[in-house]
């Protein structure tokens, strides 16, 4: 049995996990694909660096082209991260007929269509299960498991760092700054945590999920993004008091041919299954017209969970090789993406207002909502010993994003509204 030879680009957190699983599960993998799978060469930045696994030093190289152009390597596994180099290496590998497995969400969210087109041109596979929600096999589920259904909503907690921060703030009353530092020390956050906390990492993952789920090419620019850096302890406290959890949710919705995709801190009713997803865990809720509600839960990052997705992709490539069906990308998006306008995007909203504490104020505020036909589900005035002004919490019924924005604009000229403290979308 001729072994399948793999070139591994990167031996950090994920690359180390890939080596461990390929070596540790070799017998099982071989019985599934009918050939041994061998890591032939490994690209690193620094060959002299100490590693947490023992690896034959002759396999390590600092020259990417030694791997990309290696005549015996069948599959390239890219787990080094970043964009310019990885794009160049992957395109060259594909043009040489090598299959590619990658965990690189940044690359696939921004250059996925170009890479997949190149793969098809060269009859190669490009699989990227590990790029979204680490160990949860959600991409394969969207493409294969839901191939018979029409997905209308995908809602995800797809960034472990922010979920860890929000969970700690909710459960322990910790401040945002303290927990972010902790998440960095624990290795959950990206090297530059801005992409985690400002929602960009989640937006990249939602781009990939929406493209596959709705079968239309969604671009990163199609995603409206807000992160968690302005979430306060007070917001979380109010959410809890009202029976909600505050979560950074990616939400992709489709109605007929129109879609909307966003990432934003969202109040989720505690009875919704996604509200109970805590810590670094990820979850993806999928609603299909035929199947109804489904939810997928698990580790969204980390060495071994992420590596299981990479090696499962490797197994899929090798099975395709044996069947001679590589490069048949059934998941290629075929529909044009038409985005909803703000007056077509509808949801409930939570608003926290600091207002003057005198007669008639509530009437003036509710008049603004009435003017734009935003109906209110509940209005609550809470005493706050630290704030001499009145604090009013409003939860709306379903309203268009455009109408709520217009109401907020009217508050700018209302002298009784001192501050719009927070506005969140509400789910569940
Ligand atoms: P990492 O720990 O930083 O490892 C990166 C590896 O790539 C290191 O071995 C490094 O070499 C090598 N490398 C980086 N730049 C290089 C260059 N220019 N030339 C040669 N080698 C280079 O990264 P990671 O956490 O494993 O993440 C890898 C990828 O998986 C990223 O795209 C990430 O977004 C994605 N991902 C990660 C996770 C996770 O839990 N970590 C989960 C899902 C997806 P040295 O070892 O010599 O420094
Ligand atoms: N920084 C990412 C997260 C790693 O926190 O989810 C996994 O993609």
240-284 tens-digit pLDDT: 999 999 999 999 999 998 999 999 999 999 999 999 999 999 999
Starting from the CA of residue 108, give the closest ligand: 1
Starting from the CA of residue 55, give the closest ligand: 1
Establish whether residue 11 lines the binding site of ligand 1, counting it when its CB lies within 6 angstroms of any ligand atom.
Answer: yes
Is residue 251 within a helix (H) or strand (E), and if so which, with residue range? strand 244-255
The residue whose C-alpha atom lies closest to atom 24 belonging to ligand 1 is: 13
Establish whether residue 46 lines the binding site of ligand 1, counting it when its CB lies within 6 angstroms of any ligand atom.
Answer: yes
Give the span between the Cα atoms of 208 and 205, in whole angstroms.
Answer: 5
The residue whose C-alpha atom lies closest to atom 25 belonging to ligand 1 is: 13
Establish whether residue 16 lines the binding site of ligand 2, counting it when its CB lies within 6 angstroms of any ligand atom.
Answer: no
- Choose one of 13, 51, 108 to mutate for the ligand 1 pocket test, by most ligand atoms within 8 angstroms of C-beta: 13
Establish whether residue 137 lines the binding site of ligand 1, counting it when its CB lies within 6 angstroms of any ligand atom.
Answer: no
Tell me how crowded residue 90 is: count the other CB atoms within 10 A of its CB. Answer: 26
DSSP 188: -
Establish whether residue 166 lines the binding site of ligand 1, counting it when its CB lies within 6 angstroms of any ligand atom.
Answer: no
CA distance readout (Å), 263 to 133, 215, 398, 422: 15, 20, 18, 16
Q: Is 165 helix (H, G, I), strand (E, B) or coil?
A: helix
Q: Which two tokens stand for residue 339?
A: 């985005």
Question: pLDDT digits over 59-86, tens only?
Answer: 999 999 999 999 999 999 999 999 999 9
Domains of the chain, each with CATH number or no CATH = 4-134+303-323 (3.40.50.720), 138-299 (3.30.360.10), 346-427 (3.30.70.260)
Establish whether residue 305 lines the binding site of ligand 1, counting it when its CB lies within 6 angstroms of any ligand atom.
Answer: no
Establish whether residue 209 lines the binding site of ligand 1, counting it when its CB lies within 6 angstroms of any ligand atom.
Answer: no
389 pLDDT above the threshold of 90: no
| DSSP code per residue over 260-300 | EEEEEEEEEETTSGGGG--TTEEEEEEEETTTEEEEEEEE-
Q: Is 302 helix (H, G, I), strand (E, B) or coil?
A: coil
Per-residue confidence (pLDDT) for residue 299, from 0 to 100: 95
pTM: 0.96
CB 298 within 8 A of CB 281: yes
Per-residue confidence (pLDDT) for residue 333, from 0 to 100: 82
Range in 43-52, 126-135, 144-153, 326-335 the model is least confident about: 326-335
102 CA to middle of ligand 2, Å? 15
The ligand 2 atom nearest the CA atom of 161: 5
159 CA to middle of ligand 2, Å? 5
| DSSP code per residue over 41-80 | EEE-S-TTS--SS---GGGEES-HHHHHT-TT--EEEE-S
The residue whose C-alpha atom lies closest to atom 8 belonging to ligand 2 is: 301
Question: pLDDT digits over 140-168, tens only?
Answer: 999 999 999 999 999 999 999 999 999 99
Question: pLDDT digits over 393-427, tens only?
Answer: 999 999 999 999 999 999 999 999 999 999 999 99
CA distance readout (Å), 103 to 81, 311, 341: 8, 11, 32
The ligand 1 atom nearest the CA atom of 303: 40
Give the span between the Cα atoms of 392 and 387, in whole angstroms.
Answer: 12
Establish whether residue 90 lines the binding site of ligand 1, counting it when its CB lies within 6 angstroms of any ligand atom.
Answer: no
The ligand 1 atom nearest the CA atom of 81: 32
| DSSP code per residue over 346-385 | EEEEEEEEEE--STTHHHHHHHHHHHTT--EEEEEEE--T
Q: What percentage of the chain reaches a pLDDT higher than 90?
A: 87
Starting from the CA of residue 162, give the closest ligand: 2
Average pLDDT over residues 172-195: 84
Question: pLDDT digits over 8-57, tens only?
Answer: 999 999 999 999 999 999 999 999 999 999 999 999 999 999 999 999 99
387 pLDDT above the threshold of 80: no
Q: Which amino acids are annotated catalytic?
A: 205
Starting from the CA of residue 205, give the closest ligand: 2
Is residue 304 within a helix (H) or strand (E), and if so which, with residue range? helix 303-323
Vertex 295 angle, CA 292 and 297, to 5°: 175
The residue whose C-alpha atom lies closest to atom 35 belonging to ligand 1 is: 103
Establish whether residue 103 lines the binding site of ligand 1, counting it when its CB lies within 6 angstroms of any ligand atom.
Answer: yes
Question: pLDDT digits over 294-310, tens only?
Answer: 999 999 988 999 999 99
The residue whose C-alpha atom lies closest to atom 16 belonging to ligand 1 is: 45
């Amino acid at each position: 049995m001729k072994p399948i030879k793999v070139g591994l680009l990167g031996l950090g957190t994920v690359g180390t996990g890939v080596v461990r699983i390929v070596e540790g599960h070799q017998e099982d993998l071989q019985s599934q694909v009918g050939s041994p799978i061998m890591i032939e060469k490994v690209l690193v930045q620094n060959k002299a660096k100490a590693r947490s696994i023992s690896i034959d030093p002759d396999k390590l190289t600092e020259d990417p082209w030694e791997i990309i152009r290696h005549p015996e390597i069948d599959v390239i596994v890219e787990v080094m991260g970043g964009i310019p180099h990885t794009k160049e290496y992957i395109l060259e590998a594909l043009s040489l007929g090598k299959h590619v497995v990658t965990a690189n969400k940044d690359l696939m969210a921004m250059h996925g269509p170009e890479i997949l087109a190149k793969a098809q041109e060269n009859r190669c596979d490009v699989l990227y299960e590990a790029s979204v929600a680490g160990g949860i096999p959600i991409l394969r589920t969207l493409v294969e498991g839901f191939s018979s259904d029409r997905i209308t909503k995908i809602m995800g907690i797809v960034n472990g760092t922010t979920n860890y921060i929000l969970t700690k703030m909710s459960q322990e009353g910790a401040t945002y700054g303290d927990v972010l530092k902790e998440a960095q020390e624990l290795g959950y956050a990206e090297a530059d945590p801005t992409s985690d906390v400002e929602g960009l990492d989640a937006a990249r993952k939602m781009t990939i999920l929406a493209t596959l789920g709705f079968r239309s090419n969604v671009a990163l620019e199609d995603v409206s993004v807000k992160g968690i850096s302005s979430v306060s302890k007070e917001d979380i406290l109010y959410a809890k008091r009202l029976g909600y959890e505050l979560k950074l949710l990616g939400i992709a919705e489709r109605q007929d041919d129109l879609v909307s995709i966003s990432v934003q801190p969202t109040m989720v009713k505690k009875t919704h299954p996604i509200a109970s997803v805590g810590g670094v865990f990820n979850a993806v809720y999928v609603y299909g017209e035929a199947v109804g509600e489904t939810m997928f839960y698990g580790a969204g990052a980390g060495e071994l969970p992420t590596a299981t997705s990479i090696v499962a992709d490797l197994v899929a490539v090798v099975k395709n090789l044996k069947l001679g069906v590589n490069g048949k990308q059934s998941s290629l998006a075929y529909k044009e993406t038409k985005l909803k306008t703000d007056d077509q995007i509808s949801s409930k909203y939570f608003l926290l207002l600091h207002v003057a504490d005198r007669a008639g104020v509530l009437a003036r505020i509710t008049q603004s909502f009435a003017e734009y036909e935003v109906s209110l589900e509940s209005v609550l005035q809470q005493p706050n010993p630290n704030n001499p002004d009145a604090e009013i919490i409003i939860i709306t019924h379903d309203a268009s994003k455009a109408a709520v924005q217009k109401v907020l604009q009217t508050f700018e000229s209302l002298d009784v509204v001192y501050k719009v403290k927070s506005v969140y979308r509400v789910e569940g």
